[in-house]
């Protein structure tokens, strides 16, 4: 018998808030975490603003030992461990210190790269004939599965411990992978999420592609403008989001808070065929991903109250809205409310799906729709398709029963997860 899957813990490390309280306050009030970045100016980037979480040395010491922090240089693992362990604690789960691992619990925690700063540091040491000075953790920090390995060890996880990687769809995909494993009865709980390194060595390629904005170096908070006619590219960001997925029976037995239920979803690819390329989505595949997610969740398009889109503040925003409209067969005022977190945090790349999923779950649980900022001048191609009232620019306090969250990534890959407010029925 298939298991019902619920969310019992959340953790967040975002440019506009580290920890659930700070993050919730930020998204409800439209607080931006995007700032001028002196290092990007020094390196003569076109885009000199970014979204990066602020982590103090004191906070680091709450999650890593002094020995672990020696020669440590991986922002992605740092963000992911903080978010993951916070989610575990939020779910009221213990950290076991006995000899046996927790066979019922695992993690699927994605990333695009691991320890890019550590990689660069290691390359220079090798080139300078200082290989022996790399330290014993260079491999653990630079292997792609470093984040899941760190979390698996810190939490004593004995079920599946792995890292997925699907560009900007990574975080949404990790949730669906964890959901499927629990639903099949192969695990009682999975710590799902994703993280992304930050800094110029991650962001440089995007700046070279000219997909990042260059018009707001003097006005950072206005730089990320999803769905806006004046949008000029995305703002690079980083961070991590984490969600504890758990089978309903286990959650009820533990008597813990349930944030939401995962009804289902879908992942697919456009195969880089038709209009799809390495960097552009195949509209047919996007629409199929959304419609198949709705079918998999056992709902109808009329049931969807809100959407948290991918919506990066590029020329593809209008296309994404059209794809949602076609897939849901909804237009004008009939369209659900839709928002984009990227206006406040930028594009967190491989972390975007999980960071935005945490924001989506908070909306379902607390009953609100956070505002879209920086889109006073909505793109006319968007308002020709859906009514402007469906893109709220102020906080709306509203019960949400079902929310659809989607991510679309390089490689023409797509993911859509359907979340529902939990009820005992």
pLDDT tens readout for residues 373-382: 999 999 999 9
Q: Determine how β-strand 239-247 pairs with β-strand 189-196.
A: antiparallel
CB atoms within 10 A of CB 250: 18
The answer to whether 260 and 423 have CB atoms below 8 angstroms apart is: no
Q: Determine how β-strand 413-420 pairs with β-strand 402-409.
A: antiparallel
* Among the listed residues 376, 298, 371, the one whose alpha carbon sits nearest the alpha carbon of residue 338: 371
The answer to whether 189 and 344 have CB atoms below 8 angstroms apart is: no
Two tokens, residue 166:
């699907």
pLDDT bucket at 410, cuts 50 / 70 / 90: very high
- DSSP secondary structure of 239-265: EEEEEEEEEHHHHHHHT----EEEEEE
| pLDDT value, residue 127 | 75
Span 160-206, pLDDT tens digits: 999 999 999 999 999 999 999 999 999 999 999 999 999 999 999 99
Question: Containing H/E element for 368?
Answer: strand 368-369
In three-state secondary structure terms, 17 is strand
The answer to whether 77 and 117 have CB atoms below 8 angstroms apart is: no
The answer to whether 190 and 159 have CB atoms below 8 angstroms apart is: yes
pLDDT bucket at 39, cuts 50 / 70 / 90: very high
The answer, yes or no, to whether residue 425 has pLDDT greater than 70, is no
**Residues facing residue 120 across a β-bridge:** none
d(CA 352, CA 195): 8
Contacts of 308 (CB under 8 A, 6+ apart): 338, 339, 340, 341, 356, 357, 359, 360, 363, 403, 404, 405, 406
pLDDT bucket at 359, cuts 50 / 70 / 90: very high
Percent of residues, the chain, with pLDDT higher than 90? 90
| pLDDT value, residue 126 | 83
What domains lie within the chain, and their CATH numbers? 5-254 (3.40.47.10), 264-420 (3.40.47.10)
């Amino acid at each position: 018998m298939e298991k019902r899957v619920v969310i019992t813990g959340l953790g967040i490390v975002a440019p506009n808030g580290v920890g659930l309280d700070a993050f919730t306050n930020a998204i409800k009030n439209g607080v931006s975490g995007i700032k001028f970045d002196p290092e990007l100016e020094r390196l003569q980037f076109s885009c000199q603003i970014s979204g990066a979480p602020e982590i103090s040395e004191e906070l680091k010491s709450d999650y890593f030992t002094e020995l672990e922090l020696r020669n440590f240089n991986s922002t992605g693992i740092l963000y992911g461990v903080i978010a993951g362990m916070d989610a575990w604690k939020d779910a009221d789960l213990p950290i076991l210190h006995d000899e046996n691992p927790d066979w019922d619990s695992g993690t699927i925690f994605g990333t695009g790269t691991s320890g890019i700063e550590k990689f660069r540091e290691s390359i220079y040491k090798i080139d300078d004939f200082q290989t022996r000075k790399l330290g014993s953790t260079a491999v653990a920090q630079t292997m792609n599965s470093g984040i899941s390995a760190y979390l698996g060890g810190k939490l004593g996880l004995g079920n599946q411990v792995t890292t997925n990687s699907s560009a900007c769809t990574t975080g949404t995909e990790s949730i669906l992978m964890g959901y499927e494993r629990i639903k099949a009865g192969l695990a009682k709980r999975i710590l799902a999420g994703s993280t992304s390194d930050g800094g110029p060595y991650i962001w440089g390629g995007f700046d070279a592609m000219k997909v990042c904005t260059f018009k707001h170096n003097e006005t950072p908070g206005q730089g990320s403008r999803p769905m806006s006619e004046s949008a000029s590219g995305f703002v690079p960001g980083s961070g991590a989001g984490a969600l504890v997925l758990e089978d309903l029976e286990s959650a009820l037995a533990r008597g813990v808070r349930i944030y939401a239920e995962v009804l289902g979803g879908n992942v697919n690819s456009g195969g880089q065929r038709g209009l799809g390329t390495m960097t552009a989505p195949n509209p047919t595949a996007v629409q199929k991903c959304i419609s198949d997610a709705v079918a998999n969740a056992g709902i109808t398009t009329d049931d969807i109250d809100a959407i948290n889109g991918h919506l990066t503040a590029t020329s593809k925003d209008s296309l994404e809205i059209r794809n949602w409209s076609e897939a849901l067969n909804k237009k004008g005022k009939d369209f659900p409310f839709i928002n984009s977190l990227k206006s406040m945090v930028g594009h967190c790349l491989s972390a975007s799906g999980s960071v935005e999923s945490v924001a989506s779950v908070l909306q379902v649980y607390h009953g609100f729709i956070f505002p879209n900022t920086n889109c006073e001048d909505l793109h006319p191609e968007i308002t020709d398709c859906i009514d402007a009232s469906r893109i709220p620019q102020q906080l709306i306090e509203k019960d949400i029963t079902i929310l659809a969250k989607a991510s679309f990534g390089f490689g023409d890959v797509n993911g859509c997860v359907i979340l529902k407010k939990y009820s005992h029925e």
